[in-house]
Amino acid sequence: MSLTNKQIQGFVDKVCAELRFKSIHQEVAKELVDHIEDQKKQFMNQGLDEESAILKSVEEMGDPVAVGRQLNKVHRPRTEWSILAVISLLIVMGGAVQLFISREAANGAQMFSQFLLYLPMGLAAFAGAYFFDYTILGRYAKHVCSALVGITVIGLILVQTQPGGSIRYLYYFSLLFIPVFAGLVTSLQGRGYTGIIISGFVYGGAALITVLEPSITGLFLLTVCCLVILTVAVQKEWFGNVKKFGLALIYMPVIAFILSIPVLTSPYRLRRFQTMTNPEADPLGSGWLTLQIRRLMESSQFWGEATILDSELSGTAINQLLPGWSTDFLLTYLIARLGYIAGLVIAFLMLILIVRMFVAVSKQKNRHGYLISLGASLALTGQIALYFLSNTGVVPIGVTLPFISYGAGGFIVNMVLAGLVLSVYRRTDLVPKESIGGLKP
Tens of pLDDT, residue by residue over 196-246, are 999 999 998 888 888 776 678 888 899 999 999 999 999 988 888 887 788
**Amino acid identity of 326?**
S
- Cβ atoms within 10 A of the Cβ of 192, count? 14
Q: What is the DSSP letter of 162?
A: S
With contact defined as beta carbons under 8 Å apart, do 357 and 414 qualify? no
The pLDDT value recorded for residue 263 is 59
**CA–CA separation, 195 and 239 (whole Å):** 7
Let me know how long the chain is: 441
- Give the Cα-Cα-Cα angle 117, 121, 123 (nearest 5 degrees): 120
Torsion sign (Cα): 245, 246, 251, 254: positive
pLDDT at 311: 54
The pLDDT value recorded for residue 79 is 84
Please, what is the angle between helix 81-102 and helix 408-426, to 10°?
170
End-to-end CA distance of the chain: 33
Return the pLDDT at 4: 42
Q: How far is it, in rounded angstroms, from Cα 408 to Cα 27?
A: 42
Rounded CA separation 418/421 (Å): 5
Q: What is the pLDDT of residue 3?
A: 41
Q: Where are the alpha helices (DSSP H) in 78-164?
A: 81-102, 108-130, 136-139, 141-159
Asked if 348 and 409 touch (Cβ cutoff 8 Å), the reply is no
**pLDDT averages per 10-residue partition of the chain, 441 residues:** 62 72 71 76 75 76 73 76 95 92 80 91 95 87 88 76 62 92 90 90 87 78 94 90 83 79 62 68 74 84 77 66 82 90 95 96 89 96 94 83 91 96 87 51 30
Burial class (CB in 10 A: 0-12, 13-18, 19+), 110: exposed
CA distances from 194 to 20, 183, 345, 438 (A): 39, 16, 47, 12
Q: In terms of Cα–Cα distance, which of 178, 134, 226, 137 is closest to 425?
A: 134
pLDDT given at position 326: 79
